[in-house]
Chains A and B, each alone.
Chain A
């Protein structure tokens, strides 16, 4: 039986407090009015006049030098973007107003990104668990309790995400531009989508996904715990069926969730493989979290039945799904880059222009690093290498969510500063607290699972 150590508990609480303070600070410190932003911008210009004009000029020169199709497309799309803005608002929105909206959105999108990220980690870990159940895996039952513990975060994580979505529909922030009736009114593209994208249907859908995931995951986990006292196979078979049902439900709702919660931020843009792309990201992050928690518990001496073959298998999954994520990332990018249709390409132009470092950096973190490190069979058994690459993968996939959400909400005003870091700390603290509390509530080894003996002797 594992008991959450006082130290870990304290760490989690400190993380939450520091995160909450930072987040409140960043909400308070957003500019109160457009005038304030105007003053700020004037101040900045005064200070950095030389610099900005210089960079602007060199940027212009570069554009001229390689006046290729991409850049032309960028110009035209920028123009059309501006035009549509002008049309939607009935009047040209001033630069200061634009920046004001972005800065107002900053703490909101920061907390939204990290809430969604950790919620989807828990969901990805649970999906992995359901796959282990449905595929009758013989190696993994010894770490089922770890996965069950992580999946306990689905409920609090889901509530947080849902609350943020409700606040968005109440117009307290501008994460989703289609929620603003004054924009939809003048935007034909968005108003044609209101059959799907409207507040009530959006919230009902979100409730269905979250309730479905929470219910199915809770029932499956509960059955698995009931099995400890009940040696019959009935519960095992029930969980097999429930997991299969969950996986079918999940793949439909996950796809729709990714349209609703992430793709609809860039309301003018769409991509068909987006659901899979988001899935790959949350799945690899979930598996990585399972591996990290397992290694942590093992290092504390609680998982003596987990050997390095189990770790090896988890690392293989981390490696394989990282490659899978890259495949989807690149497939989405290549198809849009190749055909370069302006209405699709704006998505990547925004990311290449304003988010170059996180956008390309995450490919290095999520692909090149795991590719070169986790390809080695011996490395996949070494704990510190798994922990190191696991942390890199998690940072990379946080950046992935960051780059999916931020360009549509804060645009070029992004920065990984106090709001972003403190919301990561807040949710991370809560995640650690909930997960380790859940793990310490039951014995770490599932009893009466028909595969538990095979799993204990698993050797690769």
Chain B
């Protein structure tokens, strides 16, 4: 782990994108980028791996569907198959259309909520969490890039950052 980071502040997302590309080209390690809003294509420029949140959501949906089917099958068919308004409670498939609204809703419920909770856990978000913001202006109109450096290369990185159009450059000890 690098002990020092350079914090470069940009005023524009286009300049930031170009800076990211030039830093990536020189193969320096970008520790983190803070932006006030999503910058389209930034993850691609940084080379971040694609999110797998959608896959988890699909799996949670399958779990929700299973829960609905097992629950309705047990309650309506196995445990107490009584005659309610002439609905055929002899087997699950015979009365299936009546369960579809529940199957659908539980699938969506599980897929949505468990995915959101997964998102919170993976991005370490919870109430009373201490904000990790290096500079409060990055929530308003500034963009901040952190690049880890060591004694040997911090001079060159600073020069590169300066050329890329940063409005402020700071060297921070971690």
Q: Which residues of A contact B (CB under 8 A)?
A: 66, 68-70, 330, 333-334, 337-338, 340, 375, 377
Chain A's interface: helix, strand, loop or mixed, by majority?
helix
How near does chain B come to A361, taking the closest CB pair, in angstroms? 16
Question: Would you give the shortest CB distance from B97 to chain A, in whole angstroms?
Answer: 5
A254 to chain B, nearest CB (A): 27
Residues of A within 8 A of B54 (CB): 377
A375 CB contacts on chain B under 8 angstroms: 58
* Cβ contact within 8 Å between A330 and B100: yes
Q: How far is the CA of A334 from the CA of B90 in the complex (A)?
A: 18
> Would you call B97 and A333 a contact (CB within 8 A)?
yes
- Check B94 against A66 for contact (C-beta < 8 Å): yes
Contact B97 A338 (CB under 8 A): yes
The residue in chain A whose Cβ has the minimal distance to the Cβ of B86 is: A69
Could you list some 24 contacts between A and B, CB below 8 A?
A: A66-B88, A66-B90, A66-B94, A68-B86, A68-B88, A68-B90, A68-B94, A69-B86, A69-B87, A69-B88, A70-B88, A70-B94, A330-B97, A330-B100, A333-B97, A334-B97, A334-B98, A334-B100, A337-B97, A338-B97, A338-B98, A340-B86, A375-B58, A377-B54
Measured CB to CB, the nearest residue on chain B to A372 is B58
CA distance A334 to B87 in the complex (A): 13
Residues of chain B with a CB closer than 8 A to A340's CB: 86
B39 to chain A, nearest CB (A): 15
User: Residues on B close to A: CB < 8 A?
Assistant: 54, 58, 86-88, 90, 94, 97-98, 100
7 interchain residue pairs of minimum CB distance: A69-B86, A68-B88, A334-B97, A337-B97, A66-B90, A70-B88, A338-B98
Measured in the bound complex, the distance between the Cα atoms of B101 and A333 in whole Å is: 13
- CB-CB under 8 A from A68, the residues of chain B are 86, 88, 90, 94
B76 to chain A, nearest CB (A): 14
Give the complex CA separation of A334 and B102 in angstroms.
13
How far is the CB of B115 from the nearest CB of chain A, in Å?
14
CA distance A337 to B85 in the complex (A): 13
Complexed CA–CA distance, A397 and B126 (Å)? 48
Please give, as numbers and ranges, the residues of chain A lying within 8 Å of B87 by CB-CB distance: 69
Taken together as a complex, chains A and B put the C-alpha atoms of A337 and B88 apart, in Å, by 11
Shortest Cβ gap from A367 to chain B (Å): 12
Cα–Cα distance between A69 and B83 once the two chains are bound (Å) = 10
Across the two chains, which residue of chain A brings its CB closest to B40? A459
Nearest chain A CB to B92 CB, angstrom units: 13
- Who on chain B is nearest to A72 by CB? B86
Contacts of B97 in A (CB 8 A): 330, 333-334, 337-338
CB distance from A460 to the nearest CB of B (A): 11
Residues of B with C-beta under 8 A to A334 = 97-98, 100
Residue of B nearest to A377 (CB): B54
Q: Which of chain A's residues has its CB closest to B87's CB?
A: A69
Residues of B within 8 A of A70 (CB): 88, 94
Q: How far is the CA of A70 from the CA of B87 in the complex (A)?
A: 8
Expressed in whole angstroms, the Cα–Cα distance for A235 and B156 within the complex equals: 58
Give the CA-CA distance A10 to B98 in the complex, in Å.
51
Extra 5 A-B pairs, beta carbons < 8 Å, given A66-B88, A334-B100, A338-B98: A66-B90, A68-B88, A69-B87, A70-B94, A340-B86
- A313 CB to closest chain B CB, in angstroms? 17
- Residues in A with CB closer than 8 Å to B94 are 66, 68, 70
What is the distance, in angstroms, from B104's C-beta to the closest C-beta of chain A?
A: 9
Which chain A residues border B58 with CB–CB below 8 Å? Answer: 375
A70 to B88, alpha carbons, bound, how many Å?
Answer: 8
Complex Cα–Cα for A148 and B157 (A): 55
CB-nearest residue of chain A to B101: A334
Beta-carbon nearest neighbor of A65 in chain B? B90
Complex alpha-carbon distance, A340 and B94, angstroms: 14
Min CB–CB distance A329 → chain B (angstroms) = 12
Measured CA separation A69–B98 after assembly (Å): 15
State how many angstroms separate the Cβ of A364 from the closest Cβ of chain B. 15
Q: When chains A and B are docked, how far (Å) is the Cα of A377 from the Cα of B86?
A: 44
CA distance in complex: A340, B87 (Å): 10
- State in angstroms the CA–CA spacing of A66 and B86 once bound together: 12
Q: For residue B91, give the distance in angstroms from its CB to the closest CB of chain A.
A: 8
Select from chain A the residue with minimum beta-carbon distance to B55.
Answer: A376
Bound CA span A377–B58, Å: 13
> Chain A: which residue is nearest B54 at the CB level?
A377
State how many angstroms separate the Cβ of B136 from the closest Cβ of chain A. Answer: 34
- With a cutoff of 8 Å between Cβ atoms, the chain A residues found around residue B88 in the complex are 66, 68-70
Q: Find the B residue at minimum CB distance from A339.
A: B85
User: Chain A's nearest CB lies how many Å from the CB of B129?
Assistant: 31
Smallest beta-carbon distance B111→chain A, Å: 11
| Bound CA span A337–B97, Å | 8
Complexed CA–CA distance, A400 and B58 (Å): 28
Contact partners of A66 in chain B: CB under 8 A: 88, 90, 94
Q: When chains A and B are docked, how far (Å) is the Cα of A338 from the Cα of B99?
A: 11
A260 nearest CB across to chain B (Å): 29
Q: Which B residues are CB-close (under 8 A) to A377? A: 54
